[in-house]
Structure 1
Amino acid sequence: MVGIFKASTPTLLIRDPELIRDITVKSFGHFHDNELFLDKDVDPLLGRNPFFMKGEEWRTTRVHLTPGFTSGKMKWIYPLLEDVSEQLVKFIEKQCIKASDEGLDAKDVCMRFTLNNVGSCAFGLEAKCFEEDNNEFRQIADRFFTPEGWQTTKVFIVSVIPFLSKFISIKFTPKDVEEKLENIVSQTLKYRDENNVVRNDFLHILHQMMKECKDGSFTSIDVTAHAAGFFGDGYETSSVVMHFILYQLAADLDSQTKLRQEINKVFQQNDNTLPYEELQKMPYLDAVFNETLRVHPPLGSLNKVCTENYTYVPKDKSVISKPVVIEAGTTVILPLYGLHRDPKYFDDPNSFRPERFLGGNKNKIVKYTFMPFGEGPRACLGAKTIMEIVMKMVPGVLIRNLRGPWDTLGHQLKERRYVSHSGPFNTLKKSFWKNGKR
């Protein structure tokens, strides 16, 4: 535990896995809120996202949404993801024919794939991002997380001086984007109701939740808000992680070869298909996925707020000799990036080594030192379901359809030249493939 200041605000940086367990699980009731709060009366869409909600509102929303993220529901949606994967293969075929020596823009490919998935699974429409470079749906997605004008300044002020969030209201989603999404959802649901159309997608799940909710706590605006939440989870986060996976595989031909062997074997055993159950059982793909998240977590840290005075009694008296009281209102930072790259917990932490997550090695990882999507009740709801499936499909499909080996132009450069920490997510500035031919 380290005391720091955010501007003039005392803040605690937590590095001890046992204390992290207390904060996220054991004593969750004392730390149940995230630092950044959005008022749903000011931002009706993002303000209803569980990440930005507090207290009882968060609990109620979590109860509503949890049934929509079961493995059974994900298996139900999986055929839609397979359809988008087929579109991806056709897109890559055309791009390989047209590609110059610069190769393919991996970031662009990942964003097209994830946005098509969002369009299909969350809004029930064909986003056509493989056919069109900058259509209306992509413009909506790109602007969804873009505060306008004075809002950007307010986000900065609140991030530096958290207690001001009580007095400063923030709106991320531009009004016109909000109206367009509401119109898309209302028109789609109206058409389905009038024509008795049932489509196995997330929008249908949300619509059923609204119909079954008799107390009026889950309304049409909630349906739109949680469908729009896929822009954060299914578009931004997923495309960022996939981009890093492809980059790491391109920079590590040994890992790429091992993964290609595993994927080809699965396809051969399943009539050249990748069934849902098999995607879930591929150990090396899972190891590559987790090691990428360790080296490049989407968020550098998770900032929690102490909601009720908490007394920490240290086990190691040589480090902290007496109990420490964390007062209500104190921000505590869980430094994901620092934990994931701490040599105390990971040997040679800056190296990409998927074997860390294979077999017995996985059991050696100290609990609460690897948590890319959080832990406990407030962990990302879709991380182990829809997001993981989507993020694993791209490397699976591309390795199968591109003989390779892949390479990436300039991967010998220092990581700091390629990784940007300037936005809400850690991202690659640019990445191109070459030599990836069918």
Structure 2
Amino acid sequence: MLWFYLILILIIVIYIFTVKSKNSFKIRGIEHGPSIPIFGDSWRLFTRRETFGGMLERTYNERGVGKRYYGISNMGLNIVTIKDPELIKQITVKDFDHFTDHLQFIKGDVDLLWSKNLFALEGKKWRDMRTTLSPAFTSSKMKLMFTLIQDASKTFVDYFEKQNQDVVEVELKDAFTRFTNDVIATTAFGIKVDSLAERNNTFYLIGKKATNFGTIGTVLKFIVQAACPPFAKWMGWGMFSLEVSAFYRKTIKETIEVREKNNIVRPDMINLLMEARKGNHIDDDDNVTDTSFASVEETLAAKPKEVKQRLTDDDITAQALLFFLGGFDSVSNLMCFTAYELAANPDIQDRVRQEVLDTVEDCNGKITYEGVMKMKYLDMVISESLRKWPSAVQTDRVCTKPYTIEPASPGEKPIKLETNECIWIPVYGLHRDANYFPNPEKFDPERFSEENKSKILPYTYLPFGAGPRNCIGSRFALLEAKLVLCELLRKFQIVPTEKSQIPLKLCVGTFTMASAGGFNFGFKKM
């Protein structure tokens, strides 16, 4: 009965927001679809008829043909959605000072721990934290973390090697999520776990609770948090449960205490943040070449020379937790969809494996950081997987001071964006636009060959966002995915089984990318 009243209150609040919307598309001359009360363009998602990515792709193709932007209505918000690459560049880079923040559903007083992470921070606080964290994610720092990731990759492959079967049946989402859990545990929290062998270890179970965002019920809870923060706070509806917050706070505090007491230094995020808290300068010279096409550059302009804000234990915990959230689901999705495509396209898989074996031979029987960076075809495969199956199907920006999109063609009007107005960039629609990527449903790594990648129009390929507010962990995610695939393909062939779904169907009714039938495949010993 309580849920009935909560949902009723939610509907009333959203309806009021919808009716009172001052920035209607009609008044501003922005093309949009029919307005469905409350849910807007998301009604098919909530009735389990469409994926979130599907909604973005459909509206992208239906609206604004030949135009630079169009309108999407979503849960009481009228969102100007940008589809023109040059306008995307203008907003995310050239005029970044007008769009420095992301949309936040959860206010600081509702969940203090969430409000302190890099994604949620705004303005100067975001810039200071970004400056502090950036040195941890350069190519040179990835090389230092390489051994930690490689150890986890070997442990992952060893687990399946020990199975006394020619073909080990695997649900890839479960397996790769456990792997990413272990990588983040060692690189961000400084602890070692083996979530395949110890399936119910506390770190993994808490992680599952912390990342349970895909359900409609969770989305409704987020909307209540945005619409009525005092009520959400009274109900205890933060981003994380009290159990989750307490666990990560305790883990970070104990890790810091042990390291300080015993002078322990590891090449990980905790060490970097501990040094920053002491006021020590972190060398951010990046003298290691990263050849990954999908990785993004640090474009933050006018970095302050020092960060005067003292980092608390909560600040450190919040960054480590964000790192966990970004890797636990998004990176495991990248691995799942890539493995699916390799199983569905055995000729591509054979070519990747041969490149891995040749590289291992050149590196005296080992996989090295330099060797991974030299694997051009592997990078092409990963880049194409991120195009066809991006984990972040859209990205947003919030207008932080009034801005006008000036007309660029006959028939356009000036579009005035007010402070706190949100815009979307439909990554999923861009990646599946045949004008930019011919035959977009085809998995074709050759799009990213040396001959072809220069033909890709800038700001049409955005797996990790764009501009200063791009994903800081792109290099880490790419290295992690490449390394585990290298270790896996040395020993196994990824093959379909009776349970495999080819072609796969995306799960409807969720905001995250997921296969409706799971990722059931086999690891066949070579």
TM-score normalised by structure 2 residue count: 0.76
Query: CA offset at residue 283 of structure 1?
Result: 1.0
Change (3 A) 1:86 1:144: same
The 5 A counterparts of 1:255-294 are: 255-294=348-387
Query: CA offset at residue 157 of structure 1?
Result: 4.7
* Distance (Å, rounded) in 2 between the aligned partners of 1:32 and 1:166: 26
**Is structure 2 residue 487 aligned with structure 1 residue 397?**
yes
**Is structure 2 residue 343 aligned with structure 1 residue 343?**
no
* Distance (Å, rounded) in 2 between the aligned partners of 1:87 and 1:224: 26
Does the 8 A contact of 1:14 with 1:335 survive in 2?
A: yes
Q: Give the letter for the 1:425 counterpart.
A: T
- Pick the aligned partner of 1:197 from 243, 264, 267: 264
**Is structure 2 residue 233 aligned with structure 1 residue 144?**
no
* Distance (Å, rounded) in 2 between the aligned partners of 1:184 and 1:359: 45
* Distance (Å, rounded) in 2 between the aligned partners of 1:86 and 1:270: 17
- Unpaired runs of 5+ in structure 2? 1-68, 281-306
Query: CA offset at residue 41 of structure 1?
Result: 4.1
The residue number in structure 2 matching 1:329 is 420
**Is structure 2 residue 442 aligned with structure 1 residue 354?**
no
**Is structure 2 residue 93 aligned with structure 1 residue 4?**
no
Query: CA offset at residue 172 of structure 1?
Result: 1.2
Does the 8 A contact of 1:241 with 1:293 survive in 2?
A: yes
- SS of 1:50's equivalent in the other structure is coil
Change (3 A) 1:321 1:201: closer
- Pick the aligned partner of 1:364 from 448, 455, 471: 455
- SS of 1:436's equivalent in the other structure is strand
Does the 8 A contact of 1:247 with 1:408 survive in 2?
A: no
The residue number in structure 2 matching 1:79 is 147
Q: Give the letter for the 1:366 counterpart.
A: L
Q: Give the letter for the 1:263 counterpart.
A: V
Does the 8 A contact of 2:155 with 2:194 survive in 1?
A: no
Query: CA offset at residue 110 of structure 1?
Result: 0.7
- Pick the aligned partner of 2:173 from 107, 111, 115: 107
The residue number in structure 2 matching 1:426 is 513
Does the 8 A contact of 2:501 with 2:520 survive in 1?
A: no
Tell me whether 67-76 or 263-272 shows the greater mean CA deviation: 67-76
Deviations 1:126-183 (A, max 9, x none): 222121112211111011134799975331356xxx7767996662111111111111
The residue number in structure 1 matching 2:192 is 126
- SS of 2:354's equivalent in the other structure is helix
The residue number in structure 2 matching 1:305 is 398
Change (3 A) 1:413 1:72: closer
Change (3 A) 1:74 1:166: farther
Does the 8 A contact of 2:216 with 2:510 survive in 1?
A: no
The residue number in structure 1 matching 2:253 is 186
* Distance (Å, rounded) in 1 between the aligned partners of 2:509 and 2:463: 18
Tell me whether 63-72 or 210-219 shows the greater mean CA deviation: 210-219
- SS of 1:97's equivalent in the other structure is coil
Q: Give the letter for the 2:439 counterpart.
A: D
Deviations 1:81-121 (A, max 9, x none): 11111111211112363866xx2222222112111111111
Change (3 A) 1:436 1:307: same
The 5 A counterparts of 1:159-174 are: 171-174=238-241
- SS of 1:400's equivalent in the other structure is helix
Does the 8 A contact of 1:407 with 1:436 survive in 2?
A: no
Change (3 A) 1:143 1:268: same
The residue number in structure 2 matching 1:175 is 242
Q: Give the letter for the 1:391 counterpart.
A: A
* Distance (Å, rounded) in 1 between the aligned partners of 2:458 and 2:81: 18
- SS of 2:265's equivalent in the other structure is coil
Counting matched residue pairs gives: 427
Does the 8 A contact of 1:95 with 1:104 survive in 2?
A: no
Query: CA offset at residue 7 of structure 1?
Result: 4.0
Tell me whether 389-398 or 140-149 shows the greater mean CA deviation: 140-149
Change (3 A) 1:165 1:336: farther
Q: Give the letter for the 1:431 counterpart.
A: F
* Distance (Å, rounded) in 1 between the aligned partners of 2:83 and 2:354: 38
Deviations 1:18-42 (A, max 9, x none): 1111111111111221112433443
Instruction: Say what the alpha-carbon RMSD is for the aligned residues.
Output: 2.5
- SS of 2:71's equivalent in the other structure is strand
- SS of 2:326's equivalent in the other structure is helix
**Is structure 2 residue 284 aligned with structure 1 residue 211?**
no
The residue number in structure 1 matching 2:340 is 247
**Is structure 2 residue 467 aligned with structure 1 residue 376?**
yes
* Distance (Å, rounded) in 2 between the aligned partners of 1:63 and 1:15: 30
The residue number in structure 1 matching 2:322 is 229
Q: Give the letter for the 2:443 counterpart.
A: F
Does the 8 A contact of 1:303 with 1:334 survive in 2?
A: yes
The residue number in structure 2 matching 1:64 is 132
Change (3 A) 1:425 1:124: same
Q: Give the letter for the 2:179 counterpart.
A: F
Change (3 A) 1:230 1:126: same
Change (3 A) 1:97 1:412: closer
**Is structure 2 residue 153 aligned with structure 1 residue 153?**
no
**Is structure 2 residue 504 aligned with structure 1 residue 415?**
yes
* Distance (Å, rounded) in 2 between the aligned partners of 1:405 and 1:217: 48
Query: CA offset at residue 375 of structure 1?
Result: 0.4
- Unpaired runs of 5+ in structure 1? none
Does the 8 A contact of 1:302 with 1:335 survive in 2?
A: yes
Does the 8 A contact of 1:124 with 1:203 survive in 2?
A: yes
Does the 8 A contact of 1:116 with 1:126 survive in 2?
A: yes
The residue number in structure 2 matching 1:17 is 85
Change (3 A) 1:26 1:165: farther
Query: CA offset at residue 346 of structure 1?
Result: 0.8
- SS of 2:365's equivalent in the other structure is coil
The residue number in structure 2 matching 1:30 is 98
* Distance (Å, rounded) in 1 between the aligned partners of 2:460 and 2:273: 34
- SS of 1:52's equivalent in the other structure is coil
* Distance (Å, rounded) in 1 between the aligned partners of 2:503 and 2:399: 38
* Distance (Å, rounded) in 2 between the aligned partners of 1:215 and 1:22: 31
